[in-house]
Amino acid sequence: MELVDTRDLKSLDRNIVPVQVRPRVPYNLIMKNTYQKYAFKSKSIGDFEFFIDEETFTPTQTTTAIINSSLTMINNEDKILDLGCGCGIVGIIIANLNNEKFKLFASDISNSVEEIVKLNAEKYNVEIDVRKSDIFNAWKGYRFNTIINDISGVSEEIAKISPWFKNISCDTGAGGDNLINKVLKQSPDFLHENGKLIFPIISFSNEKEILQLANEVYGNVKLLKKDFWPAPKELLDNIDLLRKLKKEGLVSFEEKFGSIIGYTAVYEVSLSSD
Residues engaged in binding ligand SAM (CB under 6 A): 57, 59, 63, 84-86, 89-90, 108-110, 133-135, 150-152, 168-169, 179
Q: Least distance in Å: CB of 171 to ligand SAM?
A: 6
d(CA 94, CA 79): 13
Angle at 9 between CA 59 and CA 71, to 5 degrees: 40
CB atoms within 10 A of CB 267: 22
Please identify, using beta-carbon distances, which residue of 151 and 245 lies nearer to ligand SAM: 151
Q: Least distance in Å: CB of 137 to ligand SAM?
A: 8
Q: Least distance in Å: CB of 18 to ligand SAM?
A: 19
Please identify, using beta-carbon distances, which residue of 72 and 167 lies nearer to ligand SAM: 167
Q: How far apart, in Å, are the Cα atoms of 129 and each of 81, 89, 114? A: 9, 14, 9
Please identify, using beta-carbon distances, which residue of 195 and 200 lies nearer to ligand SAM: 200
- Dihedral (Cα; 95, 121, 87, 196), 10-degree rounding: -30
Please identify, using beta-carbon distances, which residue of 45 and 244 lies nearer to ligand SAM: 45
Pick from 235, 67, 87: which is nearest to 168 by CA? 87
Please identify, using beta-carbon distances, which residue of 62 and 98 lies nearer to ligand SAM: 62
Q: Least distance in Å: CB of 86 to ligand SAM?
A: 3
d(CA 9, CA 158): 16
Q: Least distance in Å: CB of 274 to ligand SAM?
A: 31
